[in-house]
């Protein structure tokens, strides 16, 4: 009898645990510049929610060391993480559409392939950029009604006056947060349409300067807005509350805060707003605080090197202008 009980106990604990009904699927697309900041984003998600999460990390060059670091961090919090490798040449045939930018990398556009990259039994996913902070319960956003459309997004902070060649009907969306109905997206074959449009209009995406005749300044975001024109459900702005310099799009900060622009919180700007301070507060609450010192010292080092370079250049100019 005892042997039977022991056997039943072993069998019980060896059975796979069914996924909770409130499981939330979240996806990030990153390269080796973003593991720590993505973990900070994940940490902020978990601090504000008691749901079960699966994090899908789409990457093109993530090292085994960084994968291990991310996997251990997420699993210590009893959540699931999966890595999906993608060759970004599949998207642009190896053409560097992002040569003009130091902050937009080829992996950025991989978000359009999520419906093809994720398993067929994943029906909904929330895509987030790595430069975000979650200051609210993400389950509320995840359960939003998309009204039968393939995607839900929040408006972009900038106006669409730049896009004089395309009528966005006064609605131009920011792609740092996309709630995807994967079944609808797959049914409409949207990823294939986006790739086809991109490959047929490459010259429009290769931005070379202000006077260039390129049409699109933000390749990933523009492509999504063009192909999904009229097929996006507008979500509350607090779920992509963009902050750049001292501009904050929405007063309600209990959602997703998106740090757009060139200067990020980990650049430790001398002047910063309340939302950058909030980012530091969350950083301090995480077990990743050591990286705050690492990036802080890195900023100080770069400032010192810049000052040294300016002094050397000044000395060279002075030496050149000396008359003997």
Task: Please tell me the distance from the alpha carbon of residue 148 to that of residue 137, in angstroms, as a whole number.
Answer: 23
CA neighbours within 13 Å on the CB side: how many for 123? 4
| Residues of the chain by 3-state class (helix, strand, coil), percent to 5 | 45, 15, 40
- Residue 26's DSSP bridge partners are 55, 126
Lowest mean pLDDT among 46-55, 80-89, 124-133: 80-89
Distance of CA 30 to the CA centre of its chain: 7
Tens-digit pLDDT profile for residues 208-220: 555 555 567 777 8
CA–CA separation, 128 and 109 (whole Å): 12
- Among 73-87, 98-112, 143-157, 226-240, the minimum mean pLDDT is found in 98-112
Tens of pLDDT, residue by residue over 276-302, are 999 999 999 999 999 999 998 988 887
If we measure between CA atoms, which residue out of 138, 178, 111, 123 comes closest to residue 43?
Answer: 138
pLDDT above 80: residue 227: yes
**pLDDT tens, residue by residue, 230-260:** 999 999 999 999 998 777 888 899 999 999 9
What band does 123 get if pLDDT is binned at 50, 70 and 90?
very high
CA distance 301 to 87: 34
* Helical residues (DSSP H) of the chain, grouped into ranges: 2-14, 35-47, 64-76, 89-92, 114-117, 138-142, 182-187, 190-200, 202-205, 219-227, 274-285, 289-321
Helix (H) and strand (E) counts in the chain: 12, 11
Q: What count of other Cβ atoms lies within 10 Å of the Cβ of residue 56?
A: 21
């Amino acid at each position: 009898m005892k042997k039977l009980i022991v056997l039943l106990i072993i069998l019980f604990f060896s059975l796979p645990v069914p996924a909770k009904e409130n499981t939330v699927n979240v996806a990030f697309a990153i390269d080796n510049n973003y593991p720590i900041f993505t973990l900070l984003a994940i940490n902020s998600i978990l601090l504000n929610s008691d749901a079960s999460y699966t994090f899908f990390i789409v990457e093109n060059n993530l090292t085994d060391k960084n994968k291990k670091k991310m996997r251990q961090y997420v699993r210590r919090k009893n959540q699931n993480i999966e890595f999906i490798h993608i060759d970004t040449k599949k998207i642009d045939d190896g053409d560097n559409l992002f040569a003009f930018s130091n902050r937009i990398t080829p992996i950025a556009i991989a978000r359009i392939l999520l419906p093809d990259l994720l398993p067929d039994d994943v029906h909904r996913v929330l895509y987030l950029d790595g430069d975000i902070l979650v200051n609210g319960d993400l389950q509320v956003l995840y359960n939003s009604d998309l009204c039968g459309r393939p995607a839900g997004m929040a408006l972009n902070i900038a106006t669409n006056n730049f896009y004089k060649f395309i009528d966005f009907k006064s609605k131009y969306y920011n792609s740092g947060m996309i709630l995807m109905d994967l079944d609808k997206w797959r049914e409409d074959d949207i990823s294939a349409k986006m790739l086809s449009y991109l490959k047929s209009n490459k010259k429009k995406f290769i931005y070379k300067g202000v006077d260039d005749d390129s049409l699109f300044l933000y390749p990933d975001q523009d492509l999504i807005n063009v192909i999904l024109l009229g097929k996006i459900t507008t979500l509350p702005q607090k779920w992509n509350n963009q902050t750049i310099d001292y501009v904050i799009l929405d007063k309600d900060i209990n959602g997703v805060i998106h740090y757009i622009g060139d200067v990020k919180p980990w650049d430790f700007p001398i002047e910063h707003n309340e939302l950058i301070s909030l980012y530091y507060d969350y950083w301090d609450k995480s077990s990743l605080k050591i990286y705050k010192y690492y990036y802080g010292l890195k900023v100080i080092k770069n400032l010192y090197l810049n000052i040294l370079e300016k002094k050397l250049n000044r000395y060279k100019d002075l030496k050149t202008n000396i008359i003997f």
